[in-house]
Each structure stands twice: as structure tokens, then as C-alpha cells.
Chains A and B, each alone.
Chain A
Amino acid sequence: MIDIHCHVIPGVDDGAKTVEQTAEILEQAARAGIRTIIATPHYSGELHRNGTVDRNFELARKEALRYNITFLKGYEIKIRHYPAQMPEDYSDLTLGGSKHLLLELSRDRVPSYTLDLLYDLQLKGFIPIIAHPERCSRLEGNKQLFNDLIDMGCLMQVDAASIIGVNGRGAKRFVKRIITSGNATYVASDAHDPSGYSKWYVKAYKKVQKWIGKQKSDELFMNNAAELVGQNIEAFTH
């Protein structure tokens, strides 16, 4: 399986704090059957610019090699309240060097420039992925906004934890609706600690199989992400 969203790089966000913790998370990931990980720390301009993320990414990559996990870099970028708080150049922030950007909405409010920002990114050739829409209560209440995002061609990445109810009943209900209506493209762990994999990921996979069958759930957990990563591999070979 392929995980496109987790906080496993040590010391750059609220995920793993030390390399030891990174190793623990990766061990559980390998046990859950994950072969490729895109590590997506929360984007912070400062850590990105001064190279901390790159350095610590290398540390984590060495750990991942021990578990035979292909390790790629990405970012989870929060759409902040003011456009000026957003990064200027997104080309280094994509998932594993592909054209996909993982964007996160605030839980309770979606700033009015969001759709313009997404359209602008699309014009520049990026493909926006909305991270865990089910945890954004604003989207659950505002069907129009959710449909607008889908209509624009945003891809939806839902969290494994939400599927089994860790993020609350509302999120579970919403995530079921997103998945069964065919609007989800990826399921990712969003793991901040080992339990993201050991407790939730495999359970979520079984649950989604019950909802939509094996073939479709394989797409969400594997094939769609393989396509994302595969584009990247092609790009490297050229």
C-alpha cells in the first residue's frame, strides 16, 4: 500500500519528535503493508527555507530504507486566513515531485479566497488535493462549497482514522458519505505516531472494503496513489 500523508519526519512538526520515534512509526507502517510513503510535514516557511526539513528528511529516509520503504517528500500546506501567509512558490512543495499539492483547510472556516487560490494553482499546472475534508466542519455544513471543490477538479484525501471514528462521529458520517458517493480519491494515514498505522490503518482498510468492495477500496488505498507516484518516477527517468 502507499501512504501519501503522514508526519513522520523527525522534529519538523507535531509528528515524530526524534529519529527513534520515526523508526517506530516506520516499523508499524511496514507491518501494515506499506511500501511507499510520502512524508508530508506541516508546511512552515522558515523550516523549509533553512533546510531543516531536507536534513531531517534524509535522516528519516535512511530509517525507511531499513524497512524497505520508498520514501518521498511532500508538504501539507494549510490554507491560512490571509493570502499573504501562503507560500509564493509551490513547485518545491509537491507530493514526491509530482504535480499534486496537499492542501489543508482550517477546521472551522474557509477563507473567501480559497477557490481563487485553487484555480490559480490549477492554472499553474498543479493538481490540488484537499487533505481530510471530513474533518473540516465547514465543508460538512456547506454542501455547495464541497461540490464546488469537486467540480473544480480538486481531489479528496480522507484519513484512515476518521473512517473508524477516531475523529468523532460527525467526521465518520461525513467520510462515509464522501467515500460511498465516489468523491474520495485517496485514503491516507495522516499518522502522527505509531498508532496511526498499527491501530487504525488496517482497520480502516477493512471497513472501506465493507462499504465499497475490494476493488474500489484498493484504488483508494493503493492504485490512485501509485499513479501519483508513478508519474513522478516517469518524470525522473526522462
Chain B
Amino acid sequence: MSNIINLTNNISEPVEEALRTLRTNIQFCSAEKQIKTICVTSCIPHEGKTMTTINISISIASANKKVVYIDADMRKPRQFKKIASRYNAGLANYLSGMAELDDIVRETNIENLHMIVCGPKPPNPAELLGTSRFLELLEKLKERYDYIIIDTPPLGSMIDAAIIAAAADGTIMLVKYNTIDYRKALKVKEQLEKANARIMGVVLNKIPKKDYGDYYYYDYNYHYGHSSKKYGSTRGSARNNSKDSARESAD
């Protein structure tokens, strides 16, 4: 392990509270069903997947669990991956047999959180993820960590996430507020079900401040609703849609 990765963690109060809620729900789910590997996907790009996934990882790590974050989004143009450009060896190197586990796991500045970047962009990500080496990697990581959180490409456009979701214990679907047609979201859900993925729940992301207050008020008692009005200046808000999550995890 070398080259510590620095993650910044400056999120506002309501978002942090939403993340805590999400973390707690994940922990509730995992207590029942032994969920250790969690795959996060969405319908289209730019729904805030990476941001949310990293924040969930940080949140769980801060609750004294050992977490490893895997960036399995090997499709995304490299220029957006400032982290990956410096720390070259990653998932692709491991899956193609050019690196071992210790070469690709990096420490971060956050305690209990380790990271595996995606590495060079392969011409055939889906084939690489379909190899037995990927399952092997997850098994090895399960021995070392409490949670393995996997960031994937959007399932609406790429199949990779379905392959990962099939291998993972649980899947979280991320939906950006007011942009995704419900038919599209349903299609992604169906695709996940076809892959035998266990959908843990849906996260509604990027709720604008004014609507966020309403949602808050609707689900929680007015005390929190009040505080959200006070602090609620945030660009990206994440929170767990607890109704969906309850329904999905029931089946």
C-alpha cells in the first residue's frame, strides 16, 4: 500500500444527516441478510453516483467499520478522474492479472477507508468484470473489510453494473430528483432483477432546497424539518427514500 489518497469531506449539515440515515438503513439491511458488498448504480450519467458513493463510504467508515471503495466505473473518460490519473494501478490491472491485491488497495486520509481506483481504461470492461477474478477479488476483500462499496457505470447505458450487482450482496439505485422518467427507472430495476441482484433501496439525489424541506417535513417530525430550513443551503442533497427501501428490501 502506498500513495495516500486525499478525499475532501465538506458536506453540509442536512446532507450529512441524510447520509447518516442512509448509513443506518444500510446497516439495518445488512444485519438481517449479511450484506457486505454493496453496488451503487443509476440510470444515466451525472446523477451524482460517485459523490454519493464516496460519501456513503466515508460515513460508514466514520462509524468504525472497515470499508473499501472500489471504482468500477471503467467507462468514464479519464480526464474526469483526477484521482486515478496519479495512482495508476487499479481494478483493471488486477482483473487482467497484471497486479495483486496489495498493489491496488490504497489508503486514504480517512480512517478505516481504503480505495481501489479503476486503473487504465480497458477496451472491454464488461468482459473483464465477468471473469472469475472479479469474484475472487470480492471474496478476498470480504475477509479484510466489513463493507465493500462499488461504484459502477450507469445501468441505463452500460451493462457493467448488472454484472457487478449480480456478484454483490446488495444494490442501491440512485435516482436524480426530477430528471429520470419513471419508466426508465423501472427498466433499470427490471434489469437488476434479471441479474438476480438484491435491491436494497433507492436513493433520491440532488433534491433542491425548497422541495427538500417538504420531503423532510413529510417523512420526519417537524423538528428536523425546521432545522433543514435553517441549514438547508446545499447543492447536492442525498437521502434515502425510506418508503422504497422498506418495500424493496421486503421482497
Contacts and interface: CB of A to CB of B under 8 A. Distances in A.
A50 to B, nearest CB: 31
B179 interface: no
A116 B121 contact: no
Interface string A171-197: 000000000000100000000000000
Contacts, number: 41
Nearest to A151: B77
A127 B78 CA distance: 13
Interface residues on B, range: 10 to 19
B121 to A, nearest CB: 5
A116 B120 CA distance: 11
A123 B90 CA distance: 9
A122 B96 CA distance: 12
Contacts of B93: 123, 125
Interface stretch (B25-33, B81-89, B132-140, B233-241): B81-89
B153 interface: no
Interface residues of A, number: 15
Given A122-B119, A124-B98, A151 B88 contact: no
B84 A153 contact: yes
Given A122-B88, A123-B92, A153 B120 contact: yes
A233 interface: no
Contacts of B92: 123
B79 A150 contact: yes
Interface string A132-153: 0000000000000001001111
Interface centre among B88, B89, B99, B123 (most CB of A within 10 A): B88
A119 B84 contact: no
B120 A119 contact: yes
Nearest to B92: A123
Contacts of A150: 77-79
B122 interface: yes
Nearest to A238: B2
Contacts of A115: 123
Interface string B63-78: 0000000000000011
Contact of A153 (B89, B99, B121): B121
A42 interface: no
Nearest to A119: B120
Given A115-B123, A116-B123, A119-B123, A152 B78 contact: yes
Given A119-B122, A152-B121, A153-B121, A127 B77 contact: no
B79 A119 contact: no
A73 interface: no
Contacts of A127: 88
Interface in A145-170: 147, 150-153
Given A115-B123, A119-B121, A183-B79, A153 B96 contact: no
Nearest to A155: B85
A151 B121 contact: yes
Contacts of B78: 150-153
A7 interface: no
B175 to A, nearest CB: 27
Contacts of A125: 88-89, 93, 98-99
A99 interface: yes
B123 A123 contact: no
Interface in A88-147: 99, 115-116, 119, 122-125, 127, 147
20 contacts: A119-B120, A119-B122, A122-B88, A122-B120, A123-B93, A125-B88, A125-B89, A125-B93, A125-B98, A127-B88, A147-B77, A150-B77, A151-B79, A151-B121, A152-B78, A153-B81, A153-B84, A153-B85, A153-B120, A183-B79
Interface of B: 77-79, 81, 84-85, 88-89, 92-93, 96, 98-99, 119-123
The 7 A-B residue pairs whose C-beta atoms are closest, nearest first, are A122-B120, A153-B78, A151-B77, A123-B98, A152-B121, A151-B78, A123-B93
